[in-house]
Protein backbone atom coordinates (compact mmCIF):
# COMPACT_ATOMS: atom_id res chain seq x y z
CA UNK A 1 0.00 0.00 0.00
CA UNK A 2 1.48 3.40 -0.99
CA UNK A 3 1.17 6.61 1.00
CA UNK A 4 0.82 10.16 -0.25
CA UNK A 5 3.40 12.58 1.22
CA UNK A 6 0.72 14.16 3.42
CA UNK A 7 -0.03 10.76 4.93
CA UNK A 8 3.54 10.08 5.94
CA UNK A 9 4.52 10.54 9.57
CA UNK A 10 5.84 14.05 10.25
CA UNK A 11 9.30 12.76 11.15
CA UNK A 12 9.50 10.88 7.83
CA UNK A 13 8.56 14.02 5.88
CA UNK A 14 11.19 16.00 7.74
CA UNK A 15 13.74 13.29 7.13
CA UNK A 16 12.99 13.24 3.42
CA UNK A 17 13.25 17.03 3.20
CA UNK A 18 16.56 16.96 5.07
CA UNK A 19 17.94 14.26 2.78
CA UNK A 20 16.87 16.26 -0.25
CA UNK A 21 18.59 19.38 1.10
CA UNK A 22 21.78 17.43 1.79
CA UNK A 23 21.72 16.02 -1.75
CA UNK A 24 21.28 19.49 -3.26
CA UNK A 25 24.11 20.89 -1.16
CA UNK A 26 26.39 18.02 -2.17
CA UNK A 27 25.58 18.57 -5.85
CA UNK A 28 26.23 22.31 -5.49
CA UNK A 29 29.59 21.74 -3.85
CA UNK A 30 30.55 19.25 -6.52
CA UNK A 31 29.79 21.79 -9.23
CA UNK A 32 31.84 24.39 -7.36
CA UNK A 33 34.82 22.04 -7.11
CA UNK A 34 34.61 21.33 -10.84
CA UNK A 35 34.59 25.06 -11.59
CA UNK A 36 37.59 25.54 -9.30
CA UNK A 37 39.53 22.79 -11.05
CA UNK A 38 39.00 24.53 -14.38
CA UNK A 39 40.39 27.88 -13.27
CA UNK A 40 43.71 28.76 -14.95
CA UNK A 41 46.75 28.98 -12.69
CA UNK A 42 46.82 32.78 -13.09
CA UNK A 43 43.79 33.05 -10.80
CA UNK A 44 45.70 31.72 -7.83
CA UNK A 45 48.06 33.84 -5.66
CA UNK A 46 51.40 34.28 -7.43
CA UNK A 47 54.94 34.41 -6.10
CA UNK A 48 55.54 37.76 -7.80
CA UNK A 49 52.38 39.49 -6.52
CA UNK A 50 53.36 42.84 -5.02
CA UNK A 51 49.99 44.28 -4.06
CA UNK A 52 50.08 47.20 -1.67
CA UNK A 53 46.30 47.33 -1.30
CA UNK A 54 43.65 44.70 -1.93
CA UNK A 55 39.92 44.12 -1.79
CA UNK A 56 38.67 40.95 -0.11
CA UNK A 57 35.34 39.46 -1.11
CA UNK A 58 33.99 36.11 0.08
CA UNK A 59 30.45 36.36 -1.31
CA UNK A 60 28.82 34.69 -4.28
CA UNK A 61 27.39 36.02 -7.53
CA UNK A 62 24.15 37.18 -5.88
CA UNK A 63 26.09 39.74 -3.84
CA UNK A 64 29.04 40.57 -6.11
CA UNK A 65 27.36 43.91 -6.92
CA UNK A 66 28.63 45.01 -3.50
CA UNK A 67 32.20 44.78 -4.76
CA UNK A 68 31.54 45.94 -8.30
CA UNK A 69 30.39 49.39 -7.20
CA UNK A 70 33.82 49.97 -5.65
CA UNK A 71 35.88 49.03 -8.71
CA UNK A 72 35.93 52.57 -10.11
CA UNK A 73 37.10 54.22 -6.84
CA UNK A 74 39.69 51.45 -6.51
CA UNK A 75 40.93 52.29 -10.00
CA UNK A 76 41.41 55.94 -8.99
CA UNK A 77 43.33 54.82 -5.92
CA UNK A 78 45.50 52.52 -8.00
CA UNK A 79 46.41 55.40 -10.32
CA UNK A 80 47.48 57.49 -7.33
CA UNK A 81 49.58 54.65 -5.89
CA UNK A 82 51.39 54.34 -9.20
CA UNK A 83 52.10 58.08 -9.14
CA UNK A 84 53.62 57.64 -5.69
CA UNK A 85 56.03 55.03 -7.04
CA UNK A 86 54.49 51.81 -5.83
CA UNK A 87 54.57 48.69 -8.01
CA UNK A 88 53.06 48.51 -11.50
CA UNK A 89 50.24 46.42 -10.01
CA UNK A 90 49.62 47.88 -6.55
CA UNK A 91 45.99 46.74 -6.30
CA UNK A 92 44.60 43.19 -6.31
CA UNK A 93 41.30 41.47 -5.55
CA UNK A 94 41.00 38.32 -3.44
CA UNK A 95 37.81 36.21 -3.76
CA UNK A 96 36.69 32.85 -2.38
CA UNK A 97 34.22 31.83 -5.10
CA UNK A 98 35.34 30.54 -8.51
CA UNK A 99 32.36 31.97 -10.41
CA UNK A 100 32.95 35.39 -8.87
CA UNK A 101 36.59 35.19 -9.96
CA UNK A 102 35.60 34.54 -13.56
CA UNK A 103 33.01 37.31 -13.57
CA UNK A 104 35.44 39.89 -12.20
CA UNK A 105 38.04 38.93 -14.78
CA UNK A 106 35.52 39.87 -17.47
CA UNK A 107 34.73 43.32 -16.07
CA UNK A 108 38.00 44.58 -14.59
CA UNK A 109 41.70 44.52 -15.38
CA UNK A 110 42.65 44.27 -11.71
CA UNK A 111 44.54 41.06 -10.94
CA UNK A 112 41.92 38.67 -9.50
CA UNK A 113 43.10 35.97 -7.15
CA UNK A 114 41.05 33.05 -5.87
CA UNK A 115 41.44 30.53 -3.10
CA UNK A 116 38.82 28.61 -1.19
CA UNK A 117 41.49 27.05 1.01
CA UNK A 118 43.52 28.64 3.78
CA UNK A 119 46.82 27.89 2.04
CA UNK A 120 45.98 30.30 -0.76
CA UNK A 121 44.66 32.91 1.64
CA UNK A 122 47.90 32.62 3.62
CA UNK A 123 49.98 33.29 0.54
CA UNK A 124 47.92 36.34 -0.38
CA UNK A 125 47.62 37.92 3.07
CA UNK A 126 51.21 37.26 4.15
CA UNK A 127 52.70 39.11 1.20
CA UNK A 128 55.42 41.44 2.59
CA UNK A 129 54.19 44.34 0.43
CA UNK A 130 50.51 44.25 1.47
CA UNK A 131 49.56 47.22 3.64
CA UNK A 132 45.75 47.49 3.52
CA UNK A 133 42.76 45.28 2.74
CA UNK A 134 39.29 46.63 2.01
CA UNK A 135 36.00 44.89 2.89
CA UNK A 136 32.69 45.85 1.26
CA UNK A 137 30.27 43.96 3.51
CA UNK A 138 29.85 42.32 6.91
CA UNK A 139 30.12 38.72 5.67
CA UNK A 140 31.12 36.27 8.37
CA UNK A 141 33.87 34.93 6.10
CA UNK A 142 35.62 38.28 6.46
CA UNK A 143 36.88 37.06 9.80
CA UNK A 144 38.96 34.40 8.10
CA UNK A 145 40.96 37.26 6.59
CA UNK A 146 40.93 39.53 9.63
CA UNK A 147 43.14 37.14 11.56
CA UNK A 148 46.21 38.30 9.61
CA UNK A 149 47.86 41.13 11.57
CA UNK A 150 50.25 42.58 8.99
CA UNK A 151 47.90 44.53 6.66
CA UNK A 152 45.47 47.13 7.98
CA UNK A 153 41.87 45.93 7.60
CA UNK A 154 39.44 48.62 6.41
CA UNK A 155 35.66 48.31 6.36
CA UNK A 156 33.96 50.19 3.52
CA UNK A 157 30.47 48.76 3.33
CA UNK A 158 28.67 48.86 -0.02
CA UNK A 159 26.62 51.95 0.62
CA UNK A 160 25.57 54.44 3.26
CA UNK A 161 22.33 53.64 5.08
CA UNK A 162 20.75 53.44 8.51
CA UNK A 163 20.12 49.72 8.44
CA UNK A 164 20.96 48.05 11.72
CA UNK A 165 23.90 46.27 10.06
CA UNK A 166 25.67 49.63 9.75
CA UNK A 167 26.20 49.80 13.52
CA UNK A 168 27.16 46.17 14.05
CA UNK A 169 29.70 45.48 16.77
CA UNK A 170 31.61 43.63 14.06
CA UNK A 171 33.04 47.00 13.01
CA UNK A 172 35.43 46.73 15.94
CA UNK A 173 37.13 43.83 14.19
CA UNK A 174 38.57 46.19 11.59
CA UNK A 175 41.50 48.53 12.08
CA UNK A 176 39.65 51.36 10.32
CA UNK A 177 36.12 52.14 9.16
CA UNK A 178 35.60 54.44 6.19
CA UNK A 179 32.37 56.26 6.94
CA UNK A 180 30.32 58.31 4.50
CA UNK A 181 29.97 61.39 6.70
CA UNK A 182 29.09 62.96 10.04
CA UNK A 183 25.84 61.02 10.37
CA UNK A 184 27.63 57.66 10.14
CA UNK A 185 30.24 58.62 12.73
CA UNK A 186 27.55 59.90 15.06
CA UNK A 187 25.47 56.74 14.98
CA UNK A 188 28.53 54.51 15.40
CA UNK A 189 29.68 56.57 18.38
CA UNK A 190 26.21 56.39 19.93
CA UNK A 191 25.75 52.65 19.36
CA UNK A 192 29.17 51.09 19.93
CA UNK A 193 31.27 51.15 23.07
CA UNK A 194 34.95 51.92 22.67
CA UNK A 195 34.95 52.78 18.96
CA UNK A 196 37.41 55.67 18.82
CA UNK A 197 37.10 58.58 16.39
CA UNK A 198 40.64 58.15 15.09
CA UNK A 199 39.66 54.82 13.53
CA UNK A 200 37.01 56.45 11.32
CA UNK A 201 37.59 58.41 8.12
CA UNK A 202 34.84 60.24 6.24
CA UNK A 203 35.05 59.53 2.51
CA UNK A 204 31.51 60.19 1.29
CA UNK A 205 30.39 58.02 -1.61
CA UNK A 206 33.23 58.20 -4.16
CA UNK A 207 31.12 56.15 -6.60
CA UNK A 208 29.05 59.28 -7.18
CA UNK A 209 32.05 60.97 -8.83
CA UNK A 210 32.21 58.38 -11.58
CA UNK A 211 31.40 59.76 -15.05
CA UNK A 212 27.83 58.76 -15.89
CA UNK A 213 26.38 57.66 -19.20
CA UNK A 214 22.70 57.36 -19.99
CA UNK A 215 21.59 53.99 -21.40
CA UNK A 216 20.50 54.02 -25.03
CA UNK A 217 17.26 52.31 -23.96
CA UNK A 218 16.33 55.27 -21.77
CA UNK A 219 17.14 57.74 -24.53
CA UNK A 220 14.82 55.83 -26.86
CA UNK A 221 12.15 55.70 -24.16
CA UNK A 222 12.26 59.50 -23.76
CA UNK A 223 11.69 60.04 -27.47
CA UNK A 224 8.31 58.32 -27.35
CA UNK A 225 7.48 59.35 -23.76
CA UNK A 226 8.81 62.89 -23.27
CA UNK A 227 6.12 64.16 -20.91
CA UNK A 228 5.58 63.68 -17.20
CA UNK A 229 8.02 63.86 -14.29
CA UNK A 230 10.21 60.78 -14.00
CA UNK A 231 10.08 58.87 -10.71
CA UNK A 232 12.91 56.54 -9.78
CA UNK A 233 11.34 53.65 -7.84
CA UNK A 234 14.09 51.43 -6.42
CA UNK A 235 12.79 49.14 -3.66
CA UNK A 236 15.25 47.10 -1.63
CA UNK A 237 15.19 43.34 -0.98
CA UNK A 238 13.40 41.58 1.86
CA UNK A 239 16.41 41.21 4.17
CA UNK A 240 17.66 38.08 5.90
CA UNK A 241 16.04 38.65 9.30
CA UNK A 242 13.03 40.50 10.77
CA UNK A 243 15.32 43.27 12.09
CA UNK A 244 16.65 43.82 8.54
CA UNK A 245 13.29 43.52 6.75
CA UNK A 246 13.17 46.99 5.20
CA UNK A 247 11.78 45.87 1.83
CA UNK A 248 8.08 46.43 1.12
CA UNK A 249 7.50 45.59 -2.55
CA UNK A 250 5.49 42.47 -1.65
CA UNK A 251 3.03 44.65 0.29
CA UNK A 252 2.71 47.86 -1.69
CA UNK A 253 4.80 47.66 -4.86
CA UNK A 254 1.87 47.28 -7.23
CA UNK A 255 -0.07 50.06 -5.51
CA UNK A 256 2.86 52.48 -5.65
CA UNK A 257 3.63 51.90 -9.33
CA UNK A 258 -0.01 51.90 -10.42
CA UNK A 259 -0.71 55.14 -8.53
CA UNK A 260 2.28 56.85 -10.10
CA UNK A 261 1.42 55.76 -13.63
CA UNK A 262 -2.22 56.73 -13.25
CA UNK A 263 -1.17 60.17 -11.98
CA UNK A 264 0.84 60.77 -15.16
CA UNK A 265 4.34 60.14 -13.86
CA UNK A 266 6.91 58.20 -15.84
CA UNK A 267 8.34 55.40 -13.71
CA UNK A 268 11.88 54.01 -13.76
CA UNK A 269 11.59 50.72 -11.88
CA UNK A 270 14.75 49.10 -10.56
CA UNK A 271 14.33 46.16 -8.14
CA UNK A 272 17.20 45.21 -5.85
CA UNK A 273 19.33 42.37 -7.34
CA UNK A 274 18.77 40.19 -4.26
CA UNK A 275 14.97 40.52 -4.26
CA UNK A 276 13.43 37.11 -3.63
CA UNK A 277 16.61 35.42 -2.38
CA UNK A 278 14.99 34.74 0.99
CA UNK A 279 11.25 34.93 0.29
CA UNK A 280 9.44 33.82 -2.84
CA UNK A 281 6.61 36.35 -2.45
CA UNK A 282 9.11 39.17 -2.93
CA UNK A 283 10.42 37.61 -6.12
CA UNK A 284 6.84 37.23 -7.35
CA UNK A 285 6.01 40.83 -6.41
CA UNK A 286 9.03 42.15 -8.32
CA UNK A 287 7.92 40.18 -11.38
CA UNK A 288 4.36 41.48 -11.09
CA UNK A 289 5.50 45.09 -10.75
CA UNK A 290 7.83 44.65 -13.72
CA UNK A 291 4.89 43.37 -15.78
CA UNK A 292 2.85 46.46 -14.86
CA UNK A 293 5.72 48.77 -15.76
CA UNK A 294 6.47 47.12 -19.09
CA UNK A 295 2.79 47.09 -20.06
CA UNK A 296 2.46 50.85 -19.60
CA UNK A 297 4.00 53.23 -22.18
CA UNK A 298 5.20 55.46 -19.32
CA UNK A 299 6.97 52.63 -17.52
CA UNK A 300 10.67 51.85 -17.90
CA UNK A 301 12.19 48.65 -16.50
CA UNK A 302 15.75 49.52 -15.56
CA UNK A 303 18.22 46.78 -16.46
CA UNK A 304 21.33 48.96 -16.39
CA UNK A 305 24.30 47.72 -14.31
CA UNK A 306 24.27 50.30 -11.52
CA UNK A 307 22.61 53.25 -9.84
CA UNK A 308 24.18 56.37 -11.31
CA UNK A 309 22.49 57.94 -14.33
CA UNK A 310 19.10 57.80 -12.62
CA UNK A 311 20.24 60.60 -10.27
CA UNK A 312 20.52 62.88 -13.29
CA UNK A 313 17.54 61.71 -15.34
CA UNK A 314 14.83 61.19 -12.72
CA UNK A 315 12.99 64.13 -11.15
CA UNK A 316 12.36 62.46 -7.79
CA UNK A 317 12.88 59.13 -6.05
CA UNK A 318 10.69 56.72 -4.09
CA UNK A 319 12.90 54.34 -2.10
CA UNK A 320 13.11 52.43 1.17
CA UNK A 321 15.85 52.18 3.78
CA UNK A 322 18.64 51.48 1.32
CA UNK A 323 21.85 53.10 0.10
CA UNK A 324 19.97 54.42 -2.94
CA UNK A 325 18.15 56.87 -0.68
CA UNK A 326 21.39 58.30 0.67
CA UNK A 327 23.07 58.45 -2.74
CA UNK A 328 19.96 60.29 -4.00
CA UNK A 329 20.59 63.10 -1.51
CA UNK A 330 23.52 64.21 -3.67
CA UNK A 331 21.07 65.01 -6.48
CA UNK A 332 19.32 67.67 -4.41
CA UNK A 333 15.95 66.51 -5.77
CA UNK A 334 12.79 65.49 -3.85
CA UNK A 335 13.00 62.20 -1.97
CA UNK A 336 10.11 60.06 -0.74
CA UNK A 337 10.86 57.12 1.54
CA UNK A 338 8.77 54.02 2.23
CA UNK A 339 8.56 52.81 5.81
CA UNK A 340 8.93 49.09 6.58
CA UNK A 341 5.86 46.90 6.97
CA UNK A 342 7.67 44.49 9.26
CA UNK A 343 7.20 45.72 12.88
CA UNK A 344 10.50 44.14 13.93
CA UNK A 345 12.54 46.07 11.35
CA UNK A 346 14.90 48.24 13.38
CA UNK A 347 14.58 51.93 12.52
CA UNK A 348 16.94 54.56 13.90
CA UNK A 349 15.14 57.34 15.79
CA UNK A 350 15.73 60.71 14.17
CA UNK A 351 17.16 59.13 11.01
CA UNK A 352 16.34 59.75 7.38
CA UNK A 353 12.94 58.09 7.68
CA UNK A 354 12.03 60.75 10.25
CA UNK A 355 13.42 63.59 8.15
CA UNK A 356 11.78 62.82 4.80
CA UNK A 357 8.16 62.54 3.65
CA UNK A 358 7.22 58.87 3.89
CA UNK A 359 4.76 56.33 2.58
CA UNK A 360 3.58 54.83 5.86
CA UNK A 361 1.70 51.50 6.08
CA UNK A 362 -0.26 52.97 9.00
CA UNK A 363 -1.42 56.00 7.00
CA UNK A 364 -4.07 56.39 4.34
CA UNK A 365 -1.94 58.82 2.36
CA UNK A 366 -0.78 57.37 -0.94
CA UNK A 367 2.53 57.95 -2.69
CA UNK A 368 1.15 60.73 -4.90
CA UNK A 369 0.04 62.71 -1.83
CA UNK A 370 3.46 62.26 -0.23
CA UNK A 371 5.23 63.51 -3.37
CA UNK A 372 3.44 66.84 -3.00
CA UNK A 373 4.93 67.18 0.48
CA UNK A 374 8.38 66.21 -0.80
CA UNK A 375 8.18 68.89 -3.50
CA UNK A 376 7.62 71.49 -0.80
CA UNK A 377 10.69 70.36 1.17
CA UNK A 378 13.42 70.22 -1.47
CA UNK A 379 15.50 72.82 0.36
CA UNK A 380 16.21 70.35 3.15
CA UNK A 381 17.74 67.77 0.80
CA UNK A 382 20.98 69.74 0.38
CA UNK A 383 21.35 70.01 4.16
CA UNK A 384 20.79 66.28 4.53
CA UNK A 385 23.37 65.57 1.80
CA UNK A 386 25.99 67.56 3.70
CA UNK A 387 25.21 65.73 6.95
CA UNK A 388 25.23 62.24 5.44
CA UNK A 389 27.83 62.57 2.65
CA UNK A 390 29.86 65.70 3.25
CA UNK A 391 30.97 67.81 0.29
CA UNK A 392 29.48 66.26 -2.87
CA UNK A 393 31.10 68.67 -5.37
CA UNK A 394 32.62 66.90 -8.37
CA UNK A 395 35.68 64.86 -7.38
CA UNK A 396 35.58 65.71 -3.67
CA UNK A 397 34.44 62.33 -2.41
CA UNK A 398 37.01 60.45 -4.46
CA UNK A 399 39.72 62.79 -3.21
CA UNK A 400 38.75 62.06 0.40
CA UNK A 401 38.78 58.32 -0.27
CA UNK A 402 42.26 58.49 -1.78
CA UNK A 403 43.64 60.70 1.00
CA UNK A 404 42.22 58.40 3.67
CA UNK A 405 43.65 55.33 1.94
CA UNK A 406 47.07 56.97 1.71
CA UNK A 407 46.98 57.74 5.42
CA UNK A 408 46.11 54.13 6.27
CA UNK A 409 48.95 52.88 4.08
CA UNK A 410 51.42 55.33 5.66
CA UNK A 411 50.31 54.41 9.17
CA UNK A 412 50.65 50.69 8.57
CA UNK A 413 53.98 51.10 6.75
CA UNK A 414 55.37 53.02 9.72
CA UNK A 415 53.99 50.48 12.19
CA UNK A 416 55.48 47.70 10.09
CA UNK A 417 58.88 49.45 10.01
CA UNK A 418 58.92 50.00 13.76
CA UNK A 419 57.83 46.44 14.52
CA UNK A 420 60.51 44.86 12.38
CA UNK A 421 63.19 47.24 13.63
CA UNK A 422 62.81 45.94 17.18
The pair phi, psi for residue 421, each rounded to 5°, is -90, -15
More confident residue, 10 or 247: 247
Angle between helices 396-421 and 71-83 (to 10 degrees): 60
pLDDT at 377: 83
Query: Which three-class secondary structure state does DSSP give residue 101?
Result: helix
Cα 160 from Cα 397, distance rounded (Å): 13
The DSSP code for 151 is S
The pair phi, psi for residue 143, each rounded to 5°, is -75, -15
- pLDDT one-digit tens code per residue, 334-349: 999 999 999 999 998 8
pLDDT at 72: 97
Is pLDDT at 1 greater than 70 in this prediction? Answer: no
Cα 285 from Cα 255, distance rounded (Å): 11
pLDDT at 379: 77
pLDDT at 33: 67
* Closest alpha carbon to 77 in 31, 110, 30: 110
pLDDT classification of 165: cutoffs 50, 70, 90: confident
More confident residue, 380 or 357: 357
Q: Are 338 and 251 in contact (CB under 8 A)?
A: no
More confident residue, 34 or 88: 88
Is pLDDT at 356 greater than 70 in this prediction? Answer: yes
Which burial class, exposed, middle or buried, applies to 356 when counting CB atoms under 10 A from its CB (0-12, 13-18, 19+)? buried
- pLDDT one-digit tens code per residue, 100-144: 999 999 999 999 999 999 999 999 999 999 999 999 999 899 999
Which burial class, exposed, middle or buried, applies to 23 when counting CB atoms under 10 A from its CB (0-12, 13-18, 19+)? exposed
Cα-based distances in Å from 161 to 184, 320, 332: 8, 10, 17
pLDDT at 26: 65
pLDDT at 54: 98
pLDDT at 420: 80
User: Mean per-residue pLDDT for 191-197?
Assistant: 91
Is pLDDT at 309 greater than 70 in this prediction? Answer: yes
User: Mean per-residue pLDDT for 229-257?
Assistant: 95
Is pLDDT at 7 greater than 70 in this prediction? Answer: no
Is pLDDT at 186 greater than 60 in this prediction? Answer: yes
Q: Are 180 and 388 in contact (CB under 8 A)?
A: yes
DSSP notation for 15-69? HHHHHHHHHHHHHHHHHHHHHHHTS-GGGS--TT---SEEEEE---GGGTHHHHT
pLDDT classification of 419: cutoffs 50, 70, 90: confident
Question: In this predicted structure, which of 36-40, 113-117, 249-253, 369-373 has the lowest mean pLDDT?
Answer: 36-40
Mean pLDDT (the chain) is 92
Q: Are 248 and 286 in contact (CB under 8 A)?
A: no
Residues 33, 37, 40: CA angle, nearest 5 degrees: 140
pLDDT at 225: 96
Q: Are 236 and 245 in contact (CB under 8 A)?
A: no
- Please list, in sequence order, all residues whose beta carbon lies within 8 angstroms of the beta carbon of residue 301, skipping any fewer than 6 positions away: 269, 290, 293, 294
Amino acid sequence: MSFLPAELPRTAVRGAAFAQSVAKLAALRLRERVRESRLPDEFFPQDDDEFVVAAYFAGDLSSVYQLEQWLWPFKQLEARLKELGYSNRPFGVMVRNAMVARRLRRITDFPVRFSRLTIGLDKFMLSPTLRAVFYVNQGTSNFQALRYPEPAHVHLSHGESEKISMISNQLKGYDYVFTAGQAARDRIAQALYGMSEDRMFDVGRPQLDRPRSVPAEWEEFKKTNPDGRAVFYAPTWEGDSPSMAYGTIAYNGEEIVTSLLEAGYRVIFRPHPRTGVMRHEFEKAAEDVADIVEADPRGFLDRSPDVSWQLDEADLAVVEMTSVAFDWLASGKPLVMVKPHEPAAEVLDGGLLDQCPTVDPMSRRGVVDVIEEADARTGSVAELAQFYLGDTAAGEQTARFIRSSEEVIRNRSEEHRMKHAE
